[in-house]
């Protein structure tokens, strides 16, 4: 059996929200030309349906993807689709350019109805703690509301992590008066995740952590919290059949606990800036809105 690839679209930017015309041009051409973000060397990623096992989309807003017919066109062309949908609590501070949460939950419901709830992996990511005007805040306010809505749609997987406080994040937040990022101690992170897991268990949703090795190493032996694979090739094989690699992705943060399996990411940081402009973003947000 021929081994086919998983296309990751993309960890580096929000292709479904902003770059679907570019993406479809690559699909129609039969390949993508991608530049390695570290050494700037370009390489080709095949994009024909005979070469691609699954396209794994990452996004915070699938509105254009659905309404402009991209989803339907890819399905007609024979591509298997998987969705990493980030749905966090509504926060104009942390996610200033994101459309209303209610509309994005409707998008999730539409994707579940069209492609099946097993194809949608909910990312509540990252969990953020910060101090503003002397008060400690977080972004967990809407978690239970989102969980209830997605459970009703049949979603069974939730992936989360705590914000890694990169230098870029500190610089970006420096423009906000009386604001400071907080990295909670591992004991507090565990208490939060255990509380979240209990909420999700009642709703039939499994909880996975993304790149949280220290937390996972310190969980109780009977914990039901699992290590995630945001590119979950074994799950994709269960959904769409075999013929893909089950190797771990050597290009990801394996030392931090990343469980992703091998895929080809086709996005770009510098040439495809994200217009969501999230305060916690580790990439290169666009300076202007669309």
Per-residue pLDDT of the chain (290 residues; tens, 9 = 90+): 679 999 999 999 999 999 999 999 999 999 999 998 888 899 999 999 999 999 999 999 999 999 999 999 999 999 999 999 999 999 999 999 999 999 999 999 999 999 999 999 999 999 999 999 999 999 999 999 999 999 999 999 999 999 999 888 898 888 899 999 999 999 999 999 999 999 999 999 999 999 999 999 999 999 999 998 899 999 999 999 999 999 987 777 677 768 788 999 999 988 999 999 999 987 655 555 55
Q: Which two tokens stand for residue 36?
A: 């390695």
Domain count, the chain: 1
CATH number, domain at 59?
3.20.20
Q: Is residue 283 part of a domain?
A: no
Q: Count CB-CB contacts under 10 A for residue 2.
A: 8
Q: Which two tokens stand for residue 268?
A: 């770009």
Q: Is residue 118 part of a domain?
A: yes
Coil vs helix vs strand at 46: strand
The whole-model pTM stands at 0.95
Q: What gap in Å lies between CA 24 and CA 150, rounded to an integer?
A: 28
Q: Is residue 273 part of a domain?
A: no
Q: Is residue 279 part of a domain?
A: no
Q: Is residue 276 part of a domain?
A: no
Q: What is the residue range of 123's domain?
A: 5-265
Q: Is residue 290 part of a domain?
A: no
Q: Is residue 206 part of a domain?
A: yes
Q: Which two tokens stand for residue 66?
A: 């659905």
| Sheet containing 120-127, strands listed edge to edge, beginning at the edge strand earlier in sequence | 226-227, 206-209, 157-162, 120-127, 81-86, 52-59, 5-9, 264-265
């Amino acid at each position: 059996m021929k081994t086919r690839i998983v296309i990751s679209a993309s960890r580096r930017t929000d292709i479904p929200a902003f770059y679907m015309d570019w993406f479809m041009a690559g699909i129609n051409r039969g390949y993508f030309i991608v530049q390695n973000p570290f050494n700037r060397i370009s390489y080709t990623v095949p994009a024909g349906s005979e070469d691609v096992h699954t396209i794994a989309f990452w996004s915070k807003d699938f509105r254009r993807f659905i309404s402009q017919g991209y989803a339907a066109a890819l399905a007609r062309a024979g591509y298997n689709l998987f969705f990493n949908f980030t749905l966090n609590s509504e926060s104009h501070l942390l996610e200033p350019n994101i459309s209303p949460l209610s509309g994005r939950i409707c998008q999730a419901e539409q994707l579940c109805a069209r492609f099946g709830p097993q194809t949608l992996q909910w990312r509540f990511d990252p969990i953020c703690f910060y101090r503003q005007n002397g008060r400690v805040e977080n972004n967990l306010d809407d978690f239970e509301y989102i969980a209830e809505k997605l459970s009703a749609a049949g979603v069974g997987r939730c992936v989360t992590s705590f914000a890694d406080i990169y230098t870029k994040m500190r610089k970006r937040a420096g423009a906000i008066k009386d604001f400071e990022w907080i990295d909670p101690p591992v004991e507090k992170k565990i208490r939060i995740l255990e509380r979240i897991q209990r909420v999700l268990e009642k709703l039939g949703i499994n909880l996975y952590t993304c790149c949280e090795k220290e937390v996972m190493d310190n969980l109780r032996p009977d914990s039901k919290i699992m290590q995630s694979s945001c590119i979950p090739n074994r799950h994709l094989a269960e959904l769409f059949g075999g013929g893909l690699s089950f190797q771990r992705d050597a290009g990801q943060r394996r030392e931090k606990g990343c469980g992703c399996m091998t895929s080809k990411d086709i996005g770009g940081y510098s040439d495809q800036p994200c217009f969501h402009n999230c305060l916690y973003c580790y990439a290169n947000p666009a300076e202007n809105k669309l």
